[in-house]
Structures are given as C-alpha cells and as structure tokens.
Amino acid sequence: MTLSLRGECLDLWRGEHHVLAGLDLAVDAGELLLVTGANGSGKTTLLRALCGLLHLEEGQVLWQGRNVREDLPAYHAQLVYLGHAPPLKGDLTAHENLRFWVGIRRDVRREEISAALERVGATGWSERPVRTLSAGQKRRVALAGVSLCDASLWLLDEPTTNLDGDGQRLVGSLVDERLSSGGIVIAAVHQDLPVSRARSRRLELTCR
Amino acid sequence: MQVSTPAHRAAWLVLARDLRLALRKPSQCVQPLAFFAIVTTLFPLAISPELSRLREIASGVLWVAALLASLLALEFLFRDDAHDGTLEQYAISGQSLTWLVFAKTAAHWTLTGVPLALMAPLAGAALGVPYEAMPWLIAPIALGTLALSLIGSIGAALTLGVKRGGVLLTLLTLPLAVPVLIFGAQATDLAIRGASFVAPLYLLGAMAVLAVTLAPLAAAAAVRMSLE
C-alpha cells in the first residue's frame, strides 16, 4: 500500500498568533517536503500538529485517507518525530539511550544499535555518557535513533542543526534511503538538504 | 498497524531506564530521604527525650514527615523528561501513555516510597516505638506512599507547564493526600500500641488500588495536555 499524508485546512492559534491559517498540504510515498520560513513562522508548530501533539482548531490530518485522530496509536506507530532537542538522557550512554528510546517501539538488538551508531560516525564515543558529547554528536545519536525506529513517516525539525558538512551529507543519505524505500519525510529547514532534487518539494510558511 | 513492543515490555523499559538514571545520579533521590531522617530525629530533641511522650506522637510525626518527603520528590517526577523531550517521545511512541506514566510513577515510588518505608522502623526507634512493633511500621507507609506517588503524579503532570510549580503542586495534591494521612497514621498508631491494625490497613490498600487503577489515566491525560 502506498502512503499518503494530507493536511486539509489546518488552522491553529498559539496564544495571540494565528500560526496556521487554512494550510493545505499533500505528500505521497517517496516524497520529501521541505518546510521553510523565517524564525517564528510556525515550522515547529506545523510539525507538532502533524504529529498529533497539538490540537488543531480546524481542519484535519489524513494518513492513508483516514483522519489520524480516529486511531492515534496506529498513526504514531508509523511516524517518528525529532524535535529541536535530541531526546537523550545525559547520564546514559548513546547505546543505552537508543536501547530505551527505540525499545519502547520495537524490539531492537544490540548489533542493530551498534550498526546504526557506526553509520552515523559514532565510533569511539558510543559508550560515553551523552552529556560529555558535543551538540553535533548528540544530533548524530538522535539521527541513529530515528533511523532505527523503522517508521515510514519522518518529521524532522531542523535535522542539520549543529552538524558539520559530513553530518549534513549523512542526513541527506538517511533521508534518501527512507524515500527510496517508499517513506515520507517532512523536514523543517533553513537550507536545502543534500538529497536528490527530483523528489523534493517546498512549502514556504510566512509570518503572521 | 500497532507498535510491535507489547505495552508491559515498554513499561518495563521505562521503569528500568528511570532506575538506572537514579543510580547514575543518586542525589535527587537522597534528598527526600534525608529530609525524612532529619525531621523525625529532630522531634525527640525539640519535645522531650521521654519515650512515653514520644510514643504518643510517633505515628503522626512519621506520617507527616513521610507525606512531606514524598511531596518534595514529586516535583522531579516528570520534569526532566518534559525538559529534554523524552515525554514527547513517549506521547507519540504509539504505546499507551497510561502504561508509560504508570511505569514512571512506579519507578518514583521504588526510589522514594520504598526507602521511606524501610527507614520508618529506624526513625521509629528514635521516637520510642517498641522493638516488637517496628516491623509493622513498614507496610502502612509502603502502601500509603504508593497511593501518594500515584495521586501526586496527576498534580505533577498538571503543573508541568507552570514555572516553579512546586507550591501549586503541593496545593493540588495535599487535599487528596489527607485521607491517606488519616488512615495511615491510624494504622501506624495501632501498630505501635500493639493492637490490630488491619482495618485501617485494608482501607489504605483500597486507596492504593483505587489510585493504581485511576491515577495513571488522569496523569496521562494531563501529560498530553501539558505537551500542547
């Protein structure tokens, strides 16, 4: 079954700000949607609304043609969201963090975690407490977590923050792989992701 | 399609993670225990060293100290996880948030309630509790703190979005904690006198069961609200 995510007339207020006003979007399997816009234009709000973390005032999010509110757990089982801050515990090692984070979603073997960590370049520091790592290293660990979650819909909030050139290419290749296996990726970004252009589209949000 | 990890396994992982974190950073769990030890040992100094007088107030002192110590610890229940986005991940993990919140509360009780209950006989020694009554101090406090942790989890979840919500949390939780305090103190008092304390203990048990069944549902709903 091919995947599709639709947003219809998304309408959302945050306090005094009318952040999303009747926004429509459509993404299909194998497509990357880049959400761009100035700071404060509502990129994070849109991603959180698509996750079902924020309640929409009006409109609906459709996954496979069905309103996601009808069965949130089933929808959540297929998505992974990575926010500004990597959801990692400073006192646990990268390995432990991923075991707990991914483990509550699916059974994950030690070797799988090691392989994913190796893929993101975490060689030599995967057994150190995360609080001793740099911001870029934490981001890499979080990306390893995202790729381990085995979700078909990725919602990434500025995935390349704190990453060096090599790290940005890594994000590009992870996203590319997800797309070519028929997944959907929505990323809030300030600069382009290094992925093959043909499949990517843009959604520009404006400040209100 | 649902997530492949069963709910109890996910809950177990959350519990294991919280216990491991507590081992790595013990200072946060030691604080309420130190508070309990200090309060209970200050009473004999402040009132009188006469054991018969202390015995009269022993159950009250133990319970008020245990109640305040467990309230003190509640503030930390969800705060770190809310701060680093872990709570958000729990909410969109596809798992039942109720189970995960229950696991977090269970970990919290294991780290505060259980040590408090185990410390109670020692604290009781300073308050003139007779030697043969000491083992009977453990059960009421263990059951009572279980109910308190669960009731408090609702307040902790509701006050997540509030800056310095400690006072609000106490105000919200205290009225609900009073029945636990009343029956708990009565059970302990009867135990100290060497009388049968099963009746108030059953009531404490009933309150704990009620809290186990209802509180995680309410706390999970409150967590979802505070993530908005």
CA distance B40 to B56: 14
The model's pTM is 0.93
Please judge whether A74 and B2 are an interchain contact, meaning their C-beta atoms are less than 8 angstroms apart. yes
Please judge whether B92 and A107 are an interchain contact, meaning their C-beta atoms are less than 8 angstroms apart. no
Please judge whether B227 and A88 are an interchain contact, meaning their C-beta atoms are less than 8 angstroms apart. no
pLDDT band at residue A34, thresholds of 50, 70 and 90?
very high
Cβ contacts of A83 on chain B, cutoff 8 Å: 85, 88
Q: Tokens 């959400």, residue?
A: A35
Please judge whether B92 and A87 are an interchain contact, meaning their C-beta atoms are less than 8 angstroms apart. no
Tens-place pLDDT, residues B119-158: 999 999 999 999 999 999 999 999 999 999 999 999 999 9
CA distance B7 to A194: 38
CB under 8 Å to B162, separation ≥6 — which residues?
Answer: B168
Write out the DSSP string of B104-136. HHHHHHHHTHHHHHHHHHHHHHHTT--GGGGGG
Per domain, the residue ranges of chain B are 7-227
The complex's ipTM works out to 0.93
Q: Does residue B16 sit in helix, strand or coil?
A: helix
Q: Where are the alpha helices (DSSP H) in A71-208?
A: 72-76, 94-103, 110-119, 135-148, 165-180
The strand pairing partners of A184, in sequence order, are A153
* Residue B223 near residue B101 (C-beta atoms within 8 A): yes
Give the closest residue to B126 by CA, choosing from B195, B202, B45: B45
Please judge whether A104 and B96 are an interchain contact, meaning their C-beta atoms are less than 8 angstroms apart. no
Chain A residues in contact with chain B using a Cβ-Cβ cutoff of 8 Å = 51-55, 73-79, 81, 83-92, 96, 99-101, 103-107, 129
3-state secondary structure A37-61: CCCCCCHHHHHHHHHCCCCCCEEEE
A127 class by beta-carbon count within 10 Å (0-12 exposed, 13-18 middle, 19+ buried): exposed
Mutation to test the B interface, candidates A68, A104, A139, most B Cβ within 10 Å: A104
Tens-place pLDDT, residues B147-206: 999 999 999 999 998 888 788 999 999 999 999 999 999 999 999 999 999 999 999 999
